[in-house]
Structure 1
Amino acid sequence: MTHDASPTENARPQTSAPTAPRVPHSREFHGNVVDDPYEWMRAKDDAGVIAHLEAENAYTAGRTAHLAGLRERIFGEIKGRTLETDLSVPSRRGGWWYYGRTIEGKQYGVQCRAPLAAPDDWTPPELTPGEPVPGEQVLLDANVEAEGTEFFSLGSFDVSDDGRLMLFGVDVAGDERYTIRVRDLETGDELGDEIPGTSSGAEFSPDGTSIIYSTVDDAWRPDTLWRHVVGTPVADDIKLFHEPDERYWLGGGFTRSEKFLVIGLGSSITSEIWLVPADDLAAEPRVVWPRREGIEYSVDHAIVDGEDYLYILHNEDALDFELVRVIATDPAGERTVVRAHTPGIRLLDIDCFRDFATIEYRREGLARIGLLDYATGGVDELAFDEPLYAAGFGGNREWAPPMLRLGYDSFVTPNTVYDYRLSDRELLLRKRQPVLGGYQASDYEQARVWATAQDGTQIPLSLVWKRSFGDAGVAPRPLHLYGYGSYEHSIEPRFSVARLSELDRGVVFAVAHVRGGGEMGRQWYEDGKLSSKRNTFTDFVDCALHLIDAGYTTRHQLVAEGGSAGGLLMGAVANLAPELFAGILADVPFVDALTTILDPSLPLTVIEWDEWGDPLHDPDVYAYMKSYSPYENVREGVTYPRILAVTSLNDTRVLYVEPAKWVARLREVGADALLKCEMVAGHGGVSGQYNAWRERAFELAWLLDVLGVADA
């Protein structure tokens, strides 16, 4: 099947809103009793719950039936602007160029490789979509693997260094548990190795004889790292490391130097890293720095003047992090400061190569990338001309490359692939995402403006609009305001083909970079978490007020959107300032936060205590979370904006029950709230490019309808 319909399109429309039964249920913590009559919806396997979700889908289908034509037009616009048969820019690894194909009419991509022309060949071949590539080998056609499934996600994909074996991990439910299989690339035969129930990110050992993978506990937390020797029974797999503390995630991978297996453990605020020699995986892991509460660090390995060093980014007495170097055999010994802590410059990542390292950091609200000189510690920063952009290195597997691959885009510049030639520091354009239909970047404008928060803090907003409708702010326009504001995650000014369907109808798109995100450094994050979490919500409200007061939009022309923790933001601002918004789009929204964070048996709850606080054991945290949790604070006697909540039945990060309960509660107070539940999908929504386009077309059609530009 090529173009699958969503549950709401498959459902028989119904015109009356489902009435969720109120079933007596209460909880008591710290002397506070809460009635929760919709908690029965948590029983995922109950036929009554499934029937209710299907009724919600049917109601949403009926309420949005008039948008069917608009949805189809938007889907056609996304499809029409996309070069469906295309290839990625090949990346070199070993004796091969690796790349991906997309094929018109196919939901999923195809992973391929072609041999190098010569050992010193570092210039990627220029491939022509739709034409054969000399020596091409198809490694994995996800369309073939996905046959007979409603959902397909690839969580692991790796090829051994010698190019002989391939592993791939597949999830066909959306619950982010993957089954790993192994294929012999010389014969095309699938080997008998099959490892079920793994997390994502498995990889081969440097010698290709073993697979390193992780498994999750009952709360979906990756907690155990394993070694599987290819060709042996899974029952004989060797446990390399187990992390019992429920606050910590575990992951493992090899350094680019292939000297160490790095075992990383991390909570939201604390890190611990262990090393195992890559040539002796049976050796006991050795800790780099023992964990200390509140100290985060990351590690990479480099060889400088013949000596093994570890380069460590850490935040000990360095809020925005410091880069130090230690001798690999004595990581607890003397530290040499390579890049001292500089307030306002948030060091994010370092990747070591043979002759240099790449470094990524944030300054003045934008991502920055550069090359670090091992000898001097100096950084050569790459400069870009646009006022807003996103840039990052990626796809560089080789230890000693003469050039580096990086990606770049902005609100107006489509995804662009460069190679940075080290000999002359020149950026070589390899490919810019083709946008069909006559797209011209010069037809659009992007800018940054600033809103003043209640406490005087300046909050950055990033905006993009189409020039032919006039400059943003000259006259009120329909405006789509996006926000997130958690986990120090930064919302970058990235290009979107789907967004053009809004911009070309006169909508201004904006991102409110509220506190709790990472856009302005670590303090920005600290000021939007735990007991300061309300700043995230009030910042978003203040950004909306600024856009209204400055003439960018009006209260009747403003729709807000956020997903996951950004969905919590949506629920909170709906309660705080319902009068500011015409509509709110909440994607997999974390809107029953207090109920979830009170229950340590639920997936990921204990890990989240570092982000939100522990309401189970701390009455002050309980009271604070109860004061803002959206489901707890739905208000009587106010007029809510139109609300669309989108969720997935198999989501393990934000359970479907949260938006289902929220919508039922909103309807109690007269809100016009719709629920759309994907019945076979996870946190990231549907799988397959056409399904994803239809999903976004559904959301944008609803959004444009709320903004009053649906028929434009």
Structure 2
Amino acid sequence: MEIKAPVAKQVPETLEIHNDVRVDNYFWMRLSDEQKEAETPDSQTQDVLDYLNAENDYADAVMAHTKDFQTSLFEEMKGRIKEQDESVPYKYNGYWYITKYEEGKDYPIYTRKKETLDAPEEIMFDCNEMAKEHSYFKLSGINISPDNKYAAFGVDTVSRRIYVIKIKNLETGEILPYEIVNTTGGSTWANDNKTLFFTRKDEQTLRSNRIFKYKLGEDTAAASLVFEETDESFYAFVYKSKSRKYIIIGSTSTLTSEYQIVKADTPDEDFKLFQPRVRGMEYSIAHYDDSFYIITNADEASNFKLMKTNENTTEKEYWTTVMPHREETLLEDIDIFKDFLVISERTNGLNKIRIQSWDGATDYYLPFDNETYTAYTTLNIEFDTKVLRYAYNSLTTPSSVVDFDMVTKEKTVLKEQEVLGGTFDKDNYTSERVWATAADGTKVPISLVYRKDTPKNEATPLLLYAYGSYGSTIDPYFSTIRLSLLDRGFIYAIAHIRGGEYLGRQWYDDGKLLNKKNTFTDFIDCAKHLVKEEYTSPAHLYAMGGSAGGLLMGAVVNMAPELFNGVIAAVPFVDVVSTMLDETIPLTTGEFDEWGNPKDAEYYKYIKEYSPYDNVVAQAYPNMLVTTGYHDSQVQYWEPAKWVAKLRMLKLDTNSLLLRTNMKTGHGGASGRFESLKEVAEEYAFLLDLEGIVH
């Protein structure tokens, strides 16, 4: 019996700007938050719910023959995870903090021990208990007061990244009767143990735009506004310096940043502007001793340089250079210690960790010896220590957490990720980095991993993943979940396309705004390279990306559908023109420097040329699985829903087109550590089924 796909009704909506007319037949799918939250749905809401549920039912029917396989994949992936597990302890302000997981439980347990690891365990938060009444649960932003008595924390039970901040008395276990609503979840205590700074969001756009100060014991309505960011392209946030001396308010946009400071001992004083914003100038600050250290791109330092200034003279005119700009190396971050400065940088796409002593006697790099690894500093909260903590993994090597003695250069592996199940041996896998040539001659790197016994030929299945936006770099990382593909003969590849910062800041600049199409053509050229070099063929090549990477998928299937047998587009940003024209939608105003503002005719024309929804045409498309979350605040559910509806009307093939909407979650999917594996199991079953792999 033939399973019939849903057909969404068409209600033409005429949209006009710059003397250009677009007709959107599925504009009606957009609901307001009020409509979604109403107890009784109105007729439009009911129509949307009926359509989304019909698509879910259709996906269930099409994938029904893989249900047992999905279950076995889920159990297989879950079986590799050490259920009874805990993090490496870290010490802060007299306490050791540990995050634990217990067998059969989805959520973390946050604990601490006073002074020594032999001390009695204090359970601060058992998220398994806290999540019991909720289909979605996320605890975020745990922040301990300087006297160790109170913990402020944020809770989201909807998955729209809107948190309620609560405060717990860690001595009595009491949750205090104060709730601060509509926040980012994060907060920071002043040194008086009673003043709490936090960030509120605009209720409609969800832009974090206002910093408040709350005094413990007062009604939360009495919280006072400290700063409001009125530029709609900026986001505001607040934190305490690692030195614990300053409370810092930051304001950032895609291209510009600005900070204000006040001493944490005197939180009621006015904040002092560190350096006024200058469009195009980015900087970040870290305090040490009597100085601030500044990472900045000022004065055309596109890959950033390190500067410093006295804490009493913070304006740019007083900044002096510590580490100059380097054309070939991107300065990413620093960690400051009493005797050492640790620099995180990137050269030729590879992470490097550099250690310098303040007295100039020591300057060296940690040794890493392959091309498909990821290394980064982790929690380094204490100042007065000679030990650096960092993490390392590669496409073939599970994650490890390492304590490194910066004086003796001895390293202690504190924890190696265990891969359970008894079948994993890292010597069975190999990785490599290859370079594709883009249409404009640019060399684009690709990281690959596969089993050593996997043949490389035109019958080999290959999954090509990428993101390619916001300067976000997808480093080659180890995944126990991915083994379910590798062990069934797949090659997994990451295309380090322009739009990320894998090859430095220019790599990002060359993949945004009026260069955005480079991101898409780079991915296509990477796919063509892998086919040309006979790693795979179009009949066995698959693509995957999420969010802005879902935009990538949408553009690629319009531009080169013949290259791929199947595509997974997760929470895809595909209705770019309409979304960027609507400043009421969360994230829009802060993203004009990433995509351009289509109210400007030049950007409108350019965005419209690649916007996936606007470029669906009557042609054959690959097999496609599209996923979304009904409560997604970052990419609203109606973008993928409209896109799938339009694809159904125009595509000329009989390939699968499935829309899976999680009606309970948002952008990040399911909240439990195992529940989310069920979503991955469906994605993998979709790919493996296309290969005829059924177990």
Aligned pair partner of 2:449 in 433, 449, 464: 464
AA matched with 1:641 = P
Quick one: distance in 2 between partners of 1:266 and 1:300?
16
CA displacement, residues 373-396 of structure 1 (integer Å, 9 cap, x when unaligned): 334497432112232111111222
Maintained 8 Å contact 1:319/1:523: yes
Corresponding residue number in structure 1 for 2:372:
388
Match of 1:224 among 207, 210, 220: 210
Q: Which amino acid aligns with 1:299?
A: I
User: What's 1:633 paired with?
Assistant: 615
Amino acid at match of 1:300: A
Q: Distance in 2 between matches of 1:318 and 1:301?
A: 21
The correspondence for 1:494, drawn from 463, 467, 477, is 477
Q: Give me the whole-angstrom Cα distance separating, in 2, the residues matched to 1:578 and 1:378.
A: 54
Choose which of 646, 665, 669 in structure 2 pairs with 1:685: 669
Determine whether 1:84 maps to 2:83. Answer: yes
Q: Pick one of 30, 33, 54 that aligns with 1:42.
A: 30
- State the Cα distance separating 1:564 from its structure 2 match: 0.4
Runs of 4 or more above 4 Å deviation = none
2:221 aligned residue? 235
The residue that corresponds to 1:302 in the other structure is 288
Determine the C-alpha separation between the residues in 1 that align with 2:370 and 2:419.
19
Is residue 182 from structure 1 mapped to residue 171 from structure 2 by the alignment? no
**Which residue pairs with 2:38 in the alignment?**
none
Within the candidate set 221, 231, 248, 1:262 is matched to 248
TM-aligned CA deviation for residue 442 of structure 1: 0.9
What do the CA deviations read for 1:185-230 (whole angstroms, capped 9, x no partner)? 1111111221111113223223422222101112111001111122
Moved more, 254-263 or 368-377: 368-377
What does the per-residue CA deviation read over 1:33-59, in whole Å, with 9 as the maximum and x for residues that have no partner?
Answer: 100010100025311111111111111
| Structure 2 counterpart of 1:282 | 268
User: What one-letter code is carried by the residue in structure 2 that aligns with 1:663?
Assistant: V
Residues 323/656 of structure 1: CA separation in 2 closer, same or farther (3 Å cut): same
Is 1:161 matched up with 2:143?
Answer: no
Q: CA 1:552–1:312 in structure 2 vs 1: closer, same or farther (change >3 Å)?
A: closer
1:337 equivalenced with 2:321 (yes/no):
yes
SS in 1 for 2:25: coil
For 1:82-481, what aligned pairs fall within 5 Å after superposition? 82-117=81-116, 135-217=120-202, 218-303=204-289, 307-332=290-315, 333-376=317-360, 379-438=363-422, 439-470=424-455, 473=456, 476-481=459-464
Q: Report the CA distance between 1:475 and its aligned residue.
A: 5.9
| CA 148–594 in structure 1, closer or farther in 2 if over 3 Å, else same | same
Deviation at 1:468, TM superposition (A): 2.1
Q: Please give the alpha-carbon distance, in whole angstroms, between the structure 2 residues aligned to 1:379 and 1:538.
A: 41
Q: Write the mapping of 1:598-637 to structure 2, written as runs, cut at 5 A.
A: 598-616=581-599, 618-636=600-618
1:663 is aligned to 2:644: yes
For the residues of structure 2 that align with 1:572 and 1:474, how far apart are their CA atoms?
Answer: 27
The corresponding residue for 1:560 is 543
Out of 183-192 and 135-144, give the one that drifted further. Answer: 183-192
Does the CA contact (< 8 Å) of 1:389 and 1:494 recur in 2?
yes
SS at match of 1:451: strand
> Structure 1: which amino acid aligns with 2:254?
S
What does the per-residue CA deviation read over 1:566-602, in whole Å, with 9 as the maximum and x for residues that have no partner?
0000000000000000011000000111110011111
Using the TM superposition, give the Cα deviation of residue 450 of structure 1 relative to its aligned residue in structure 2, in angstroms.
Answer: 0.4
Q: What is the CA-CA distance between 1:474 and the residue it aligns to? A: 5.5
Partner residue in 1 for 2:39 = none
Number of equivalences? 678
How far 1:533 sits from its partner (Å)? Answer: 0.5
**Residue identity matched to 1:66:** H
**Deviation per CA, 1:85-132, whole angstroms, max 9, x where unpaired?**
111111111222111111111110111112233xxxxxxx5xxxxxxx
Change (3 A) 1:315 1:467: farther
In structure 2, the CA distance between the partners of 1:588 and 1:437, relative to structure 1 (3 Å rule), is same
CA contact (8 A) 1:75 1:697 kept: yes
Range with bigger deviation, 397-406 or 660-669: 397-406
Between 651-660 and 234-243, report the one with greater CA deviation.
Answer: 234-243
Partner Cα separation in structure 1 for residue 288 and residue 657 of structure 2: 55
Distance 1:203 1:309, change over 3 A: closer
Shift of residue 673, structure 1, vs aligned partner: 1.5
Cα separation, 2, equivalents of 1:163 and 1:404:
24
Distance 1:676 1:604, change over 3 A: same
User: What's the CA shift string for 1:601-622, capped at 9, x where partnerless?
Assistant: 1111111110001111x11111
Match of 1:17, SS state, is: coil
Verify the 8 A CA contact 1:505 1:709 in the aligned structure 2: no
- The question of whether the paired residues in 2 share the 8 Å contact of 1:14 and 1:59 is answered with no
**Per-residue deviation, 1:134:** 5.0
Contact 2:355 2:406 in 1 (8 A): no
Stretches of structure 1 that go unaligned for 5 or more consecutive residues are 1-12, 118-124, 126-132
Instruction: Name the amino acid aligned to 1:57.
Output: N
2:3 is the counterpart of 1:15? yes
- Counterpart code for 2:257: S
The RMSD of aligned alpha carbons is 1.6
2:516, 2:258 → 1: CA distance?
26
- Give the distance between the partners of 2:363 and 2:568, measured in 1 at CA: 42
- The C-alpha deviation readout for 1:432-469, integer Å capped at 9, x for no partner, is 01101231111110110000000000000000001122
Distance 1:449 1:14 in 2: 44
Say if 1:595 and 1:510 are closer, same or farther in 2 by CA, change over 3 A: same
The 3 A distance-change label for structure 1 pair 498 and 28 is same
**Among 552, 566, 570, the residue aligned to 1:583:** 566
1:630 maps to amino acid? P
Deviations, residues 14-47 of structure 1 (Å, cap 9, x unaligned): 9321110000211000000100010100025311
Alignment check: 8 A CA contact 2:87 2:98 kept: yes
Match of residue 63 from structure 2: 64
Distance 2:288 2:230 in 1: 31
Please tell me whether the aligned partners of residues 70 and 710 of structure 1 are also in contact (alpha carbons under 8 angstroms). Answer: no
Q: Does 1:570 align with 2:553?
A: yes
- Tell me if structure 1 keeps the 8 A contact 2:150–2:169: yes
Unaligned 5+ segments in structure 2 are: 36-44
SS at match of 1:66: helix
Match of 1:130 in 2: none
Matches of 2:327 and 2:338 in 1, distance apart?
30
Tell me if structure 2 keeps the 8 A contact 1:323–1:340. Answer: yes
Aligned counterparts of 1:484 and 1:312: Cα–Cα separation in 2: 25
TM-score between both structures, scaled by the size of structure 1 = 0.93
Identity rate, percent: 40
Amino acid at match of 1:52: Y
> Is residue 14–residue 61 contact of structure 1 (8 Å, CA) maintained in 2?
no
Which residue identity is paired with 2:167? V
Q: Which residue of 1 aligns with 2:13?
A: 25
Deviation of the 1:254 alpha carbon:
0.6
Maintained 8 Å contact 1:614/1:622: yes
Match of 1:3 in 2: none
